Structures are given as C-alpha cells and as structure tokens.
Amino acid sequence: MGPLQGVKVVEFQGIGPGPFCAMMLADMGAEVIQIDRPPAARDGGDDANWRDAGRFQFVNRGRRALALDLKLAAGREVALRLIRGADVLVEGFRPGVMERLGLGPEPCLSANPRLVYGRMTGWGQDGPLAQAAGHDINYIALSGALHAGGRRGQPPAAAPTLIGDIGGGAMMLAFGIVCALLEVRRSGRGQVIDAAVCDGSALLCSLLYSLHAAGMLSNDTGTNFFDTGSHFYDAYECADGHYISVGALEGRFYAKLLGHLGIDDADPAAQFDQSRWPAMKERIAAVFRSRSRDEWCALLEGSDCCFAPVLDFDEAPRHAHNRARGNFIEIDGVRQPAPAPKFSRTPAQATRPPAPAGADTESVLAEYGYSAADISSLRDAGVIV
C-alpha cells in the first residue's frame, strides 16, 4: 500500500526533522530501515531519553529498527551493504560526521550510483554557521520566520518546530527526495540533497517576503492584517476561557461575520482602515466574551465567517470533522496524527508502531545475506546487540 511502495530507505537515526522525514516516507509505503546506535555505543546526549520513548515516539513509526555500532569497521561495512540495496539514504548529523565514518556521499554513491543521499541539518552543509550548534528557534530566527510571530510589543513567538524542523526541514527533505527519485528514472544517477532548516523556513516565508516587498507587510509585528494586528484575523477568548479563531479576510466573509455577531453599525467597506482596527478589536472581543466556545461553535461553525474553535491536543482528535476525515488513528493503542495527504488509489497506511533500537536487527541482516553464524560473530564483536 502507499505510492512509495517498493522504495527502500536507510535512515541513520537522529532527532527532529530527519526522523519526521523518514516517517513521512514510511507512511507513504516506503520500506525504511532505521539504523541506531546500540545503547552501549551512545554518547549519553540529551536526546537519549527521547529516543527511548518507545510507542509514544510517533516519528519512529512504520520502520524496522537495527542497532549498529558505526565506530567499528565491521559496523560500517554492514551499513554499506544495506546502502548498496537502498534507493534513499537519510542522515541528520553535523556536516562531516558521515565522511569521518567513511559513509559520506562519495563512497556511498560509488557503491550505489543510483542512491538519493538526503542530508538534513539546521544551517546547511556549508556556510559560516555550518558547524555551529543550533535548534529550531535559531534557524527560523535567521530566516526571518521567527520575526513574523508574536503580538505587537511582545517578544517573537512561533509554534515549536512547525515552521523550522518540520515545515522547513523534514518536509523540504521529503519533497527533495521524491524529486530526486523521479530524476533517477531519467538519468540513472543518484545525487546529494542538502536540506537545511534555515533554507526551508526562508522559503516558507515567500508570501510574507512578497507582501513586504510590495509595501503591504510592515516589520512592526502585530500590526498587519494577518499577524493579529487586525480585528478580522485573530483568536478571541470566550466566556468559558476557551478560544475561537476568525479569519474573515475577504469582504463578503467579513460582512457575514459582522452580521452573525450582531454588529450592524460598522461599515464593511472600511474593513482595511487600520485606524479603526483597535476599537473594532475591542468591540469584537467583548462580543465573543459574551458566550461560551460551544455556543459560538453552534452559531458559526460551518458558516462562511471563516471560523473555527481553538482546540487542544485532547480535543482535536474528537472533533467531528477530524473524525470524519480520519485525521487521527490509533497504533498500538496510542492515538496519533494519521498520514497525509490522502490518495484515491494508493492510500497511505501507518500500522507498525515505533520499534526500539535493535528490535529487527537479526531479521534485517538475514535478508541482506548474513548467516546465523555471521550474526552471532557480529554480536560477539559488539557490532550489534
């Protein structure tokens, strides 16, 4: 099942965007083998507990797990054998780490000329910051994306990881991998993908940069029509402390919103008169505070007011629209977001729960030609567990 059925991926385990990219590929039917370090070979970094989060680490779903000590020559040779049979490699180490292991693009593409070699970093493979440590918030700060978040007079804020690690990183790498797989069919030659969160999050801001270039977006965050500056594109508190969202940008939707709120003395034609925004925001806020969120849902949901309730992580899976769309599934008794997008003929399917490191080592090695004696020798040498 899935449009990527038959595609073989070797993923070198990391954190953040790399695993999310591999999850996307696995959701779409690719056969993903995840190579992690045996517990004894780990460096005790801060990500250790997260890697061991078991069935709750959704980004590790859908693939088989192999534990391999890449510091040992025999471990690297095992990895290279898997790479020879793969279509895609995914790695998220700092630039130069895979080269020092002897598993950089040159030897891998030499062993497998059709290989798509996907590299995921924060800053990119080159540039002044390539070797600097960083996280999502740093990468989107440099691209301009972080500046666009937050209310007027308050520090910048953005939803954790969504713009950077996931949108600018994982999804850009997944898109690049699929593009390169298509190109391999024409040329017969693999290539290296240099995906960086900083680069991708800048691209995600294309519309914002376009509006800014046209003089329609101010650098004064929180004053623009869709960054909480306007009264018709914001979240408002209800009588019960919950929130709703409105995004009535177009004039016809804005007029419907005013009508449903009982505001009949405001001129819809003055929607974009910024001098009126503060007073209108206070007025609309007072109206929304007069009823509970459920009451507003009963009145506005499904209308053309561009309305939706603000749901938390417990509420969203229970919403009727999400249930009807199948946007959340259960795997191993744990509810989690479903694969997306949806396909008419080759539907994506996520059924395999996250596997602990080394859970499938023996079965994977056997498929790649290792005998029982070979596997035993590798275990005795500490190459596998």
**Active-site residue 135, yes or no?**
yes
* Tokens linked to 8: 């073989």
Segment 152-183, tens digit of pLDDT = 999 999 888 999 999 999 999 999 999 999 99
Among 242, 248, 238, smallest CA distance to 285 is for: 238
Among 309, 160, 324, 188, smallest CA distance to 244 is for: 309
Among 21, 14, 16, 115, smallest CA distance to 62 is for: 21
**Active-site residue 212, yes or no?**
no
- Tell me which residue has tokens 């479903």: 338
Find out whether 128 and 134 touch, Cβ atoms under 8 Å.
no
Q: Which of 69, 136, 165, 234 is catalytic?
A: 165
- Whole-number Å distance between alpha carbons of 268 and 255: 6
Q: Which ranges constitute the DSSP H helices of 33-149?
A: 48-51, 73-84, 97-100, 105-111, 136-143
* Tokens linked to 198: 């900083």
- Whole-number Å distance between alpha carbons of 264 and 282: 16
The strand pair at 243-247 and 328-331 is best described as unpaired
- Whole-number Å distance between alpha carbons of 116 and 189: 9
pLDDT in tens, the chain (385 residues): 899 999 999 999 998 899 999 999 999 999 999 999 887 666 555 455 545 557 789 999 999 999 999 999 999 999 999 999 999 999 999 999 999 999 999 999 999 999 999 999 999 999 999 999 999 999 999 999 999 988 999 999 988 899 999 999 999 999 999 999 999 999 999 999 999 999 999 999 999 999 999 999 999 999 999 999 999 999 999 999 999 999 999 999 999 999 999 999 999 999 999 999 999 999 999 999 999 999 999 999 999 999 999 999 999 999 999 999 999 999 999 999 999 999 999 999 898 999 998 999 999 999 999 999 999 999 999 999 8
User: For residue 1, what pLDDT is reported?
Assistant: 82
Is the pTM value of this prediction over 0.75? yes
136-143 and 197-204 helices cross at what angle (nearest 10)?
50
Q: Which residue segments constitute the domains of the chain, with CATH numbers given?
A: 8-204+329-380 (3.40.50.10540), 233-237+243-309 (3.30.1540.10)
- Tell me which residue has tokens 């040779």: 77
Residue 334 carries which side chain, given as an amino acid letter?
A: V
Please give the full DSSP string across 156-183, using - where no structure is assigned: ----TTIIIIIIIIIHHHHHHHHHHHHH
- Tell me which residue has tokens 């994506």: 348
- Tell me which residue has tokens 């290792």: 370
Q: Which of 47, 135, 212, 304 is catalytic?
A: 135
Segment 208-259, tens digit of pLDDT = 999 999 999 999 999 999 999 999 999 999 999 999 999 999 999 999 999 9
